[in-house]
Copies of this chain bind each other. A is one copy, B any other.
């Protein structure tokens, strides 16, 4: 029998350790490699963090599988039982170029249902954590549900490639809004939506980019869907929309 309070406590301790290691790593030059090209980077810190997370999470729930960005986990084919989805550095480009605006993310799913999510905004030293059972917290402070703001009265996060290439009519979505914003990290943009700073965020994301954010955002009453309005497949990449109820309807209508 899994004690989720105990699991939560251990994961919080773990993510703080990984965060501390990450800050320490910024004091030295970071070794950077390209993955699929010059806009898709990986560093020794991504790899170190993922290894550390994988080793510890396996101990926290021994009978669990782990889907991680850098491949130190398992080849996950379904979400039966307990599954961790982890991003050791979300926003690696920002991490390398800015030493700012990046996150560490952990999600725990059980039989496909989100249980616990963690997004650590490292440079602001803010851990967003929680899940459907207990609500969402920024550090020790419980977050209120964000207001159900409409697209035309608020700002929206849109990723660079989608906006530039006008995929899904997103240039028009931006025009209808009060303005687009672009921070370069899914974790940081999920946080902005959860804080009510954006009515939503649209980007092409992989499971580790949205695994934790989906649990936290849905707990706060936000909608997390594919841009075509369908449910997300947790094991594949999609253009993901997180938004307030109102903004999600408006964006999906404009985008399809």
Contacts and interface: CB of A to CB of B under 8 A. Distances in A.
Give the number of times this chain occurs in the complex, counting copies.
Answer: 2
A138 interface: no
A160 B180 contact: yes
A174 interface: yes
Main secondary structure of the interface of A (DSSP, over half): mixed
Contact of A197 (B100, B179, B197): B100
A93 interface: yes
A184 B184 contact: no
Given A164-B163, A179-B160, A155 B97 contact: yes
A130 to B, nearest CB: 21
A98 interface: yes
A98 B182 contact: no
Interface in A178-196: 178-184, 192, 195-196
A27 interface: no
Contact of A38 (B38, B100, B178, B196): B178
Interface in A87-111: 93-94, 97-101
A58 interface: no
Interface of A: 38-39, 93-94, 97-101, 152, 154-155, 160, 163-164, 171, 174-175, 178-184, 192, 195-198
